A and B are shown apart, each in its own frame.
Chain A
C-alpha cells in the first residue's frame, strides 16, 4: 500500500501569523532553569560532602551540562510559543522537541487567570491562563507584557460572553 507522504513536524496549514510571547520572557525561563539547576547542585553537594558518595562530582557535572544545554535552547523554545485569536476559538502552541497545539472554543471559558512571578513582574510581564472545565486543556500563555495580558483577558472575556454555551 503506497503511503501518502505526510509531514514530519506538526504545523497547522493556513495558520501563519502566530502572536509570539515577549522575547524578555527568555530571561524568566533562564533564571528559573538556573535556580533549579543550583538547587539540584546543592543536593548533589550534600551527597558528596555529607553522605560521602564518591561519584557525586560527576552528578554535579551532568547537572551543570544539562542546565547549560537547556539555557542554550531557551530562546528557541520561547520563540516556539505562540497564540492566535481565531473567529471562534483560541489557538495555542508550544514546544520544539515536544510540540503541542491546542484549540479552545471561546464559549468554553470558565475563567481567565493572570499571574505574575517576581522576576516576570520585574520585567513587566504576566502569565495568562485560560481555564476550561477540562483540567487537561492546560492553556497557559506566559510572558505577555502586562498591558497586553490585561487587554487580552478583557478581549477573551468579551468573546466568551458573546459565544456563551452550556458546560
Chain B
C-alpha cells in the first residue's frame, strides 16, 4: 500500500526540470540544430554559402570537430544538471507539515503547516499537460509563501491533493485506499514522448521513468540513472499508441471526477453566456466611448494623434477578450467534503480547492450592462493566493465569472455552508434585487441622498447568523457578505461632511483582495450600533470557529 503522504521523502516527476524551464533550452537547441542542418546541406551539395555568420567562420577554420565536441559536452552538462536538480528536489507530507527541499547550489527548505493551508491548487499548463504532468501548489497566507510541487504525474497530483486535504482536515490519516488506487493509475500514466529537440536522450530518460514506475511500487525512490535505454525504447515503441489514448482521455476528461463531488452541486456556464458576459463588460463601454471619441475627433478635423493613442489599445483589447474567454472556459464549481473546488481553463487548466473557512469576504455584483440578462458575478477575498493567474492577469479570485441568480444561490451555499435556510436565502435575494425599504436591512436615512442620490434607499447592512451583509449600489448592484469569524477588525469614521448630515461610514476590515466591505453612508447612531454588533459578533464567531481542522468533530483547539 503506497501513498505520497506517508511522511517519507519523495521525488518529483523525472521530466520536471525539463518542464519547469528546460523547454526553453530545448527550443534553443532545436533552433541551432535546424540551422546546422541547412549548413550541412550546403556543405554536402556545394551550394555557395551566404557568408558572415559564425557557422561559416567555424567551417572556414576547420574547427567543426571541436565545435561538435563542445556541443556534446554542453548537452551532457545540461542533462547532468537536469538529473541533479531532479535528484535534489524532494518533498514530504507528514501529519503536521508539508515540506519541500531543493536546490543544487543554493539549497532551500520550505515547510508549511497543514492547519494553515489556505488552498490547494492543481495547475496543468498546456505543455506539461500534454505530457500528463501537473503542478500542485499549497497556498498559505503571506507573500510568496506557497509550497509548489512542480511537476507531478497528473493522477498522482490528484491523489496527493486528496491526502493533503484529508490530513489538514484533522482526520490525521491519509485516505490509504484511495492513494493505492491512484498509484496503480499512475503506473498506467506515463510520460515517454521522445522530444524532437533532444533526440533520443530525453526520451530515454523518460522511458527510464516508465520502467521505474512499472517495477518500483514507490514513486521516485528507485535510483534514476540513465540506464535501461533499450528497455525504454521498447517501452516507447509498444506504449505509444496506448499513451496517446491515455493523453487524449485525460485531456477531455471533466475537471472533476464524478465521485469527488455530488453532481447536483456543480455549477456550469453555457458558452453563449460566457461570450455575452465578456462582451457586455465595462471594458466594452470604454472601447465604444474611445471609438466615438475617435470618430468625433476625425470629423472635427483634428490631427491623427488620437488614433495613434488609441489604436494600440484597441489591438491589445483583442487579446484581452481572448484571454478573458479562454481563462473562463470550462468553468466549474463544486462542493467536495474538503471544500469548494473551482476549476477553469481550456488549454491550461487550473483547479483550486478552498477548504471551509478560508474565504474572508464575498461580493456578488451586477454591472449595469448585465442587468437585462440577470447575470451576476461572485468574487472573494482569500488570504493565500495561487501564483497561477486567473483571467486578465490578476490573482485568481473569481468564484463565478457569470451566472444567474440560481447559480449565485448555489455558489453561496457552497462557499458559506450553513447559510441556506429560507430566511437566509430571502435575505440574499433581497440584498441582490430589492430597491430598498423595510426589508430586513438597516438602510441609510433620506438625508444620505445628498451623497448617494440614486442608491441611498438600498445602502444598508444586515447581520444574520455570524454573516454580515452589506448592500449598496443601484446602477451597479453589489451585495457583500463577510463571515464574522474571519473578520480582522471593524472601524467607523466620520469626516466633516458626514457629520453635517449626521451620517458616518463603516468598514469591515478583511484580508486584502478585490472585495472592500465598506458602507460609505450610514446613520451616525446606527453606525455605533453596527460597530458594537459587529465587534461582538466577530469575537463570538471566532470563538466558535473550528475551520483550521474542519473535520474534527469538536474542533478541539490546540
A residues apposed to B, CB below 8 Å: 1, 3-4, 6-13, 88-89, 95, 97-105, 107-108, 132-137, 139, 163-167
Contacts and interface: CB of A to CB of B under 8 A. Distances in A.
A9 B507 contact: no
A7 B502 contact: yes
B287 to A, nearest CB: 33
Nearest to A108: B488
Interface of B: 115-116, 118, 141, 357, 383, 445-447, 485-496, 499, 502, 504, 507, 509-512, 523-528, 531-532, 534-535, 538-539, 542-543, 545, 547-548, 557
Contact of A10 (B118, B141, B488, B527): B527
Nearest to B557: A164
A10 B524 contact: yes
Contacts of A134: 488-489, 509-512
Contacts of B383: 133, 167
A103 B523 CA distance: 19
Nearest to A100: B493
B446 A6 contact: no
Contacts of B499: 8-9, 99
A9 B445 CA distance: 16
Contacts of A163: 542-543
A165 B118 CA distance: 15
A99 B494 CA distance: 5
B488 A104 contact: yes
By secondary structure, the A interface counts as loop
Contacts of A13: 528
A165 B493 contact: no
Nearest 8 pairs of A and B residues by beta carbon: A134-B488, A6-B525, A134-B509, A103-B535, A104-B489, A137-B489, A102-B491, A132-B488
A107 B542 contact: yes
A167 B446 contact: no
A7 B524 contact: yes
A13 B525 CA distance: 10
B490 A167 contact: no
A34 B525 CA distance: 37
A103 B487 CA distance: 11
Contact of A8 (B512, B524, B535): B524
Contacts of B486: 167
A137 B509 contact: yes
Given A12-B528, A108-B488, A137-B488, A166 B547 contact: yes
Contacts of A6: 445, 502, 523-526
Interface core residue of B447, B489, B491 (most chain A CB under 10 Å): B489
Contacts of A98: 493-496
A132 B512 CA distance: 11
